[in-house]
Structure formats: C-alpha cells, structure tokens
Amino acid sequence: MSPEHGGSIIGGVLARHGIKFLFTLCGGHISPILVGAKAHGLRVIDMRDEANTVFAADAVARMTGLVGVAAVTAGPGVTNTVTAVKNAQMAQSPVLLFGGATATILKGRGSLQDIDQLSIMRPITKWAISVSQLAALAGTVEEALARAQHGVPGPVFVEVPVDLLYGEEMVRTMIFKEAGVDHPKTLPAKALRLYLEGHLYKQFRAPALPSLHAELRLPRFDELTTSVPPLPRDTDGQVRAVADKLATAERPVLVLGSQALVACKEPGRLAAAVRALGIPVYLGGMARGLLGRHDALQFRHARGKALKEADLVIIAGFPFDFRLGYGRGFGKAQLVAANLSARELRKNRRPDLAVRMHPGEFLQALAAVIATPAGVGRRDAWFTTLREREAARDGEIAAQAAAPAQLVNPLAFFLRLEEKLADDAVLVVDGGDFVATASYVLRPRGPLSWLDPGVFGTLGVGGGFATGAALCHPGREIWLIYGDGSSAYTLSEFDTYARHGLAPIAVIGNDGAWAQIAREQVDMLGDDVGTVLARCDYHKVAEGYGGVGLLLNDPAKIDATLDRAKALAREGKPVCINLHLGRSDFRKGSMSM
C-alpha cells in the first residue's frame, strides 16, 4: 500500500498531536488505521469489546488531559460503543472515535454492515462527520481533535469509508472488480467504468473542498448545542465579587466536581489554590484525591448537613442535579457556581453568582485575588462542627466493620485495603453497592487517581478504565473495585491485560446479588426477582484469560491475600480477588433513581 493511504494519514496526525495509544477491536473496515497508527509510533491496544475501547480512551483523556482515541469497525462495531460514547459525553471527556464504513460508492446499497451511523452518533457527540475525500482526511482529524477539547470537552465521531483507507491502486482494483468492469467490453460497462474513474479521481486526486467549519472561529460547545445565551464574560469582576463574599463568610463550603479536573495537566496548581482558600472542601467524581489522602480542609461525610448550614457555598464544576438535591439543599447560603457550560450553570437552580469559565481556572484566579485566607479565626467553630461529624461517622463505620459476618464484612475489608494501598495507587470503581461502600472508606492518594463513570452511573466501565489507567501509569498500583454484577461486563479484558503486559488488581465484591437493587426492591415490592446471582468462581474465569485468581472467603486471610495480590502485580501479573461478602445493610435506603 502507498505510504500515504488513509490509515497512514490518520496515524501521522495523531502522532503529531502527542497521542500515544489507539484502542480498538479489529475489523476489515479499519485495518489500515491500526497499521498506520502503529507505523507512526502509537501503541495499538486491541480489546475484547468495542465499548471498552471507548472506556479506555475515556480513561486516558481524563488522566492525561489529552484526547483519548479509539477505532472500531462499521455497523455493529459502532453501535456497540453507544453507551460508552454517551458516558464520555456526560462526563465531559474528550474522546475521538473513528468508525469504519462501507465504500462511498456502495453507501445505501446493502453493503455489509452499512447503516446510517451519523444519525446514531450525532445526538451523543459534539461533532459527527463522514469524510468523502482523501485530501480532506487530515484536516478533518485535526478539527476533530480540536473540537473534542474546545469549550466543554466531549466525544467526537469521524466516519472513514473503507475506500479512503486503503491505497489508491488497491481500491481501484477492488471497486472495478466489484462492479464487474475490470475488463469492460460493452458500452454500458464502459460508461460505468468511466463514471467510477471520475468518482475515484474526486476521492484521491481532487483537492478538498473548503470546510465550512474551518472558515469559522471554532465555536464553544454550548454555542453548538444549546440555545441558552452566553453569560457575561466579565470573569475578573466576578472573581473579585466572590472574593468579597468569601471575606465575610463564617461558614463557607467549597464543592468540587469532575469538571474542575477536565483537561487539567497540572493538578498540583489547582490543589495549591484550593488550600490557599482555606475553607472546608468536599470533593466528588474525578476531583476525589485532589488534596491527597489526608488534608485538614477535606471532608467526606455529612455533606448535605454542611450545605444546609453554610452561609456561602461555592460549587465548582458540578451541575445542580440529583447529586446536589437538584439545587434545593442549600438553606439560606449565598450560592456561587463556576462551570464551562451555560446550561449546567442554570440547571434546576440559578445561583446568586454564575461564573462561566473552567472551574479549575476560576479557583486559581480566586486564590490569586485573596492574599491570605480571610476570616480564619471566625471559622474555628465551623471547622470544629464539621470535624466532629466526620469523626463520628468514621467511628460508626469502624464499629460496623467490627461486626461479625458469615463471610467477609465489606467495611472490614476496605479498612484493611485502605491501609495497604500504595501511595501512588489509582482506584477504578465499577459497581453499585460494593463500590459505594468503598467510597466511604478508601481515600485516593493524589490527584487524578480516582476513576468512576460519572453522572451517567454506567456499569461496565471497569475493564476499559483499568486498561487506560495502567497504560498511563506503568508501574503504579491499579485497583479495580468491581461489584459481582458489574464484573461480568468486562472480566474478559483480563485477556487484554495479559497480552499487553498490564497488571491491575481487580477486587470483585461477591455477595451473589445485585445488592443495591435487591435491598430496596424486596422491601418495597416484596420480591427479589431479577436480582439474584450465583457466587461464581470469577477468579477462575480470570485465570482462564491469563490472569491470577485468588479466592478470599475468610476474614482472617484479608491481609495475606492483599499482600499476595500486590506482589503478583509487581511481577507484572494481572490479579483477580474473588471476595465473598457477608450480607450488609450499611447502605440501606441509599438507592438513587
């Protein structure tokens, strides 16, 4: 094939933009993309499910601030990614997905796996486009990378027909043979051959038509997708107004969401800014771990009470959705919100002051305005109240962890894991009840060390997220906390770990149930239908895929099992701990809908 075939062009653009990984599940429609990416130095990671290629790309985007890239084959390859793409959209994660497609000349004629992919992808992406000329391919990929990151980040989709990916001579041979005009003898056959010659000239030889989008200033995401008018851009004045409010507040609270870490390449600067503000902080989503394992400003429990009692609440990178009581749980506090999205700034509630800018940049600007934390002495009682609540809740958890269980008490397990985690550990969470229990106990060690699906609440992110995290941070401990229900979505990626030399440690909380649903369903409806699972030998499944399986059903063996798993991971072996749990009512009444 020509060195300038479409796959090589794509690989070259990605390499120039510093993209290191391409996630894929192979298919004839996209083979040149994989070969071209590899030839330009990208590491091609072939996975066992198309959705997981996008989840892995999503994880890379979150942990590096660069665009995560995946390529899948046409038709079912593309449709299999829909949930993962929507998850990236709602998590505001910059992802570029390449989709294979039938040859341009065969679209709509019943070719293998030929469907209208753009109509599926447009509602769940920032931009979805199909390329029809080789000369337009490089520019389209450049623009896709820019759009994924610009404004409110999110996923983009580029459809590349197969006849733009292979070399010109190979495509000519295939198309002429498919049309039966490789050796035309009749007048109709010669006419068809002439038409196809013109079509191929346009694809491979004609200059690209000017891009309408390229002639415009690249718009912000909100300008593309919403009719909400942009807010005033007097951010300097708004930041100073917030500083004035903060100077007089006696019970302030800061809440950070994932958006504060979006495209954040220097989280240390953001952490320093948060500390400079000197007020109580609650971290959510990707912001978890920003201040490390222990920090005097950081609180984890009783956030709802704190928000109701506060006199100033600053929400940085969180919409007023179910996680914040749809904006209703703030008492009489002055409410400040910073967000990239005009829509999210006003969703369910209008704050007293809405600052439309990157929440991380907003906090750094706010810290620069205040020379020293104001009102510190007046806030001693406020800090004391919050710390007493924090200690009381931690005491309750420790008491419940000491309660005997038929198998392993999940709280007891997580308390031991909390002490065993390495200082550079990365936590990937994928599940319901077991994962939510973990969030009460496990303390992320540093910035960008906690990966959860985000507001979509998607099960099945684990295998892809763990793959992306392990590639971004070779040598660090990667812990994948699974529920037994969610583990079945991606346990097959142990094959990917083994083949590509990755060594995450998966812990499957095995209680033989979709516990978060079952607990409430049985109480409300008196029936456990659809919620019962078997206590499967998940560790043996992982072994079958090339990992090492460990069974843990005795609380006396928690420490030894964790130590063994850590040692195996250091040797480069992926590990699956099948943790048999006793029944727990720790999170009774906590199901969200």
**Is 549's pLDDT higher than 90?**
yes
pLDDT of residue 233: 52
Q: What is the mean pLDDT of residues 533-558?
A: 96
**Is 512's pLDDT higher than 80?**
yes
pLDDT of residue 112: 64
Q: Which of 93, 111, 94 is nearest to 102 (CA)?
A: 111
Q: What is the mean pLDDT of residues 502-531?
A: 91
DSSP result, 451-504: E---TT--TT-HHHHHHHHHHHSTTS-EEEEEEHHHHHHHGGGHHHHHHHT---
**Is 208's pLDDT higher than 70?**
no
Q: What is the DSSP letter of 181?
A: -
CB-count burial class (<10 Å; 0-12, 13-18, 19+) for 425: buried
Within this chain, domains 237-380 and 402-580 share the same CATH topology: yes
Q: What is the mean pLDDT of residues 163-188?
A: 73
Query: Who wins on pLDDT, 210 or 551?
Result: 551
pTM of the predicted protein model: 0.89
**Is 185's pLDDT higher than 80?**
no
Q: What is the mean pLDDT of residues 259-281?
A: 91
**Is 216's pLDDT higher than 90?**
no
Where b means 16+ CB within 10 Å and e means fewer, 80-93 reads bbbbbbbbbbbbbb
Amino acid making up residue 432: G
**Is 283's pLDDT higher than 60?**
yes
pLDDT of residue 321: 84
Strand-pair partners of 101: 161
Q: What is the mean pLDDT of residues 254-280?
A: 91
How confident is residue 78, by pLDDT bands cut at 50, 70 and 90? very high
pLDDT of residue 226: 32
pLDDT of residue 224: 34
Taking only the tens place, the pLDDT of each residue in 356-413 is 999 999 999 999 988 665 555 789 999 999 999 999 999 999 999 998 878 999 999 9
Q: What is the distance of C-alpha 556 from the center of its chain? A: 36
Q: What is the mean pLDDT of residues 320-333?
A: 84
* Distance from C-alpha of 132 to C-alpha of 153, rounded to nearest angstrom: 26
Q: How far is CA 410 from CA 89, 302, 435, 453, 586, in A?
A: 32, 21, 10, 21, 9
Specify whether domain 402-580 bears CATH 3.30.750.24. no
Q: Which two tokens stand for residue 300?
A: 């984890």
CB–CB of 259/340 below 8 Å?
Answer: yes
As a whole-number percent, the residues of the chain with pLDDT over 90 amount to 66
CB-count burial class (<10 Å; 0-12, 13-18, 19+) for 499: middle
Strand-pair partners of 23: 45, 70
Of 95-99, 148-152, 217-221, minimum mean pLDDT range:
217-221
CB–CB of 54/81 below 8 Å?
Answer: yes
Domain 6-225: give its CATH code.
Answer: 3.40.50.970
Amino acid making up residue 524: M
CB–CB of 579/562 below 8 Å?
Answer: no
Q: Which two tokens stand for residue 390?
A: 């924090």
Angle at 249 between CA 236 and CA 345, to 5 degrees: 50
Angle at 15 between CA 121 and CA 212, to 5 degrees: 45
How confident is residue 590, by pLDDT bands cut at 50, 70 and 90? low
Query: Would you kindly state where each structural domain of the chain is located, as residue ranges?
Result: 6-225, 237-380, 402-580
427: helix, strand or coil: strand
pLDDT of residue 371: 63
pLDDT of residue 232: 43
* Distance from C-alpha of 198 to C-alpha of 154, rounded to nearest angstrom: 38
Q: What is the mean pLDDT of residues 448-469?
A: 94
pLDDT of residue 103: 73
Q: Which two tokens stand for residue 421?
A: 């985690």
Of 222-226, 256-260, 532-536, 578-582, minimum mean pLDDT range:
222-226
pLDDT of residue 201: 67
Taking only the tens place, the pLDDT of each residue in 2-59 is 557 889 999 999 999 999 999 999 998 899 999 999 999 999 999 999 999 999 999 9
* Distance from C-alpha of 62 to C-alpha of 57, rounded to nearest angstrom: 9
Query: Who wins on pLDDT, 506 or 65?
Result: 506
**Is 345's pLDDT higher than 60?**
yes
Residues 522-530: contacts with CB within 8 Å, 24+ apart?
none
Strand order in the sheet with 548-552: 450-451, 426-430, 478-483, 505-510, 575-580, 548-552
Q: Which two tokens stand for residue 411?
A: 């709280």
Second CATH level (architecture) for the domain 237-380: 3-Layer(aba) Sandwich (3.40)
Q: What is the mean pLDDT of residues 304-316?
A: 94
pLDDT of residue 327: 80
pLDDT of residue 21: 98
* Distance from C-alpha of 530 to C-alpha of 6, rounded to nearest angstrom: 48
pLDDT of residue 378: 82
Query: Who wins on pLDDT, 593 or 538?
Result: 538
Q: Which of 386, 390, 412, 385 is nearest to 401 (CA)?
A: 412
Q: What is the mean pLDDT of residues 108-136?
A: 86
As a whole-number percent, the residues of the chain with pLDDT over 70 amount to 88
- What's the mean pLDDT when you consider all of the chain? 88
